[in-house]
Amino acid sequence: MEDSIFQIHLAVRYVRSSPARLQKFKECVTKEKIESKAQLVLDVETRWNSTYLMLEVTIKFQKAFELLEIEDSKYSDELSSGERFRGLPTCIDWEYARYFLPFLKVFYDTTLRVSGSLYVTSNAYMQDIFGIGLKISKWCRSVDPGLHIMALRMKGKYDKYWSNIDNINLMLFIVEVLDPRHKLEYVNWVINESFDMVLADRLKAKVKEVLVALFKQYSSFKVVLSAQPSEQTRVAMEIDVDDVDLDNEEFMKAMYQEKQARKKVVNHKTELDKYLTDDCEDDNKSFNILQWWKLNSTKYGALSMIA
């Protein structure tokens, strides 16, 4: 498969190497009645997204390249000479290119979303980055030898940047936790799928630690007996249980209310706890995460400041 892409790369390079060759190619395009106005682009061999752009355009002109073989004898001669050249692109080469194009499109689309500020909000970064990793891992198990080898090369480059959990910016995961459609359970699933058990457990612990630390930093919450105790509880708690003249009913009531107040302190849920245990929102394309946090800022308090 890699050889097929390289042959197409050489064909494009030949056409673009001089104005005369490009003109001859345009004549072939006209004769084949190809209506596309796209311009041939040459890829950078080490960049998958540029390879996608080259193939996505070049495939449309397959018939023009085949006619060029007849119209321009130098085309065949040049691509058949030299150690790396093995002739013109064959039908099999073109089919391989079409087969491989959807896989390259994954890289191209992700590059656009991650690098273009108009295409992405920060909560989408994790899904793009680790989504590619999971797809590559799946392709590595392909029974197609060409795709299998190509995927292994991709995985080597991917792992160079994303296999070391100590170098990963944990905010990639934190912002995904703050997406009310996914939260921590989804993030933990992604981590489990992307790393081995030991690394996954370490990374999940780090994410939870940072999440809690961020919440504490932004939160002004202080543990009290009760933020707004009921009138009945307040009166009961003011009763002096050491008063020997206190009747049994009042004594028992005061003791019980004091215990209940302490229980509330122990079992108090922070805004972070409430957020993580509340049901996730429905996952749909029209969901506006910024608007959601604006509407729920009172409910989740300091957590909305992080979001």
pTM of the model: 0.65
Residues of the chain with pLDDT > 70, as a percent, come to 79
What tens digit of pLDDT does each residue of 253-274 get? 667 776 666 665 445 578 888 8
Question: Virtual CA dihedral for 88, 92, 93, 97, nearest 10 degrees?
Answer: 150
Is the confidence at residue 241, as pLDDT, over 60? no
Mean pLDDT taken over the chain: 81
Element (DSSP H or E) covering residue 113 = helix 91-115
The phi and psi torsions of 93 (rounded to 5 degrees) equal -60, -45
Q: Average pLDDT, stretch 217-238? A: 52
CA-CA distance, 77 to 87, in Å (whole number)? 8
Among 21-25, 37-41, 42-46, name the most confident range. 21-25
